[in-house]
Amino acid sequence: MDEALQHTCAGLRERFPEQVSEPEETFGEVSVRVRPGRIAEVCAHLRDEEGFELLSDVSGVDFLGVAPPDERFLVAYHLASLSKNVRLRLRVFLPEGQEAVPTVTGVYPTADWQEREVYDFFGIIFEGHPDLRRILMPDDWEGHPQRKDYPLGGTKVEFKGARVPPPDIRRQPTTTTGYPGRIA
């Protein structure tokens, strides 16, 4: 693990011993688990003390059937420090039925649309978000489409008043009658 990151993680553990786990390195990427309650303070610490200027990405994952119900949802925050050229992932697991985490828009304004997207697709509430509405799905949409228990499929298509005539009185397909330039 990068030295700067080791230092960062040690500082985090010292400042938030109850909230932040030991760092974990997988595939060359470092992540720490953070309890949902004080995520905004953790982010503020990382931005102001450790030089993580950029919140790259906020991403939701639904581990239905893979993880136990009290760790069903994951919100992953991908932070980047341009000055130190390191990246850190904060992982916040949320239990089924209490899908809520404080917003980080106060620390990183870029989280505004990203948290709206996670809310839209996973139904995770970002407490204190200034404008938590759906962003990509229509405003009156029901359900949160990227949850694993939300079926893949389109909206119901309604054919109002469509009747299919019996085969013997159906029109012949127009292409058999030929068209200009067709080689017979």
Partner 1 sequence: MSTRELHLGGSDWDDVVAGAEDETMIINMGPQHPSTHGVLRLVLELDGETVVNCSPVIGYLHTGIEKNTEVRSWTQGVTFVTRMDYLAPFHNEMAYCLAVEKLLGIEAPPRAQAIRVMLAELNRISSHLVWLATGGMELGALSMMLYGFRERETILNIFELITGLRMNHAYIRPGGLIQDLPDGAIDQIRDFLIDFPKKLNDYENLLSNNPVWLDRNKGIGRLSAADALALGVTGPMLRASGVAHDLRKSAPYSGYERYDFDVPTSDACDCFGRYVVRLAEMRESLRIVRQAIDDLPSGPIMVADPKIAWPAQLQLGADGLGNSPDYIRKIMGESMEALIHHFKLVTEGFKVPVGEVYVPIESPRGELGYHVVSTGGPKPWRVHVRDPSFINLQSVPHMVRGALIADVIAAVASVDPVMGGVDR
Q: Which is nearer to partner 1, 25 or 70 (CB)?
A: 25
Q: Which of 14, 17, 97, 138 binds partner 1 (CB under 8 A)?
A: 138
**108 sits near partner 1 (criterion: CB under 8 A):** yes
Q: Which of 66, 68, 95, 100 binds partner 1 (CB under 8 A)?
A: 66
Site string for partner 1, 16-55 (x = CB under 8 A): ----------xxxx-----------------------xxx
* 31-63 as b/e: b if 16+ CB within 10 A: bbbbebebbbbbbebbbeebebeebeebbbbbe
3-state secondary structure of 116: helix
Taking CB under 8 A as the binding criterion, the range among 9-17, 38-46, 74-82, 92-100 that sits at the site for partner 1 is 74-82
How many residues line the site for partner 1 (CB under 8 A)? 44
* 104-129 as b/e: b if 16+ CB within 10 A: bbebbeebbebbbbbbbbbbbbbeeb
Per-residue CA distances from 147 to 63, 123, 151 (Å): 9, 8, 9
d(CA 11, CA 85): 18
**129 sits near partner 1 (criterion: CB under 8 A):** no
Q: Which is nearer to partner 1, 21 or 59 (CB)?
A: 59
Q: Which of 14, 18, 152, 180 binds partner 1 (CB under 8 A)?
A: 152
**78 sits near partner 1 (criterion: CB under 8 A):** yes
Taking CB under 8 A as the binding criterion, the range among 2-10, 11-19, 77-85, 174-182 that sits at the site for partner 1 is 77-85
Nearest partner of 39 among 102, 93, 85, judged by Cα:
102
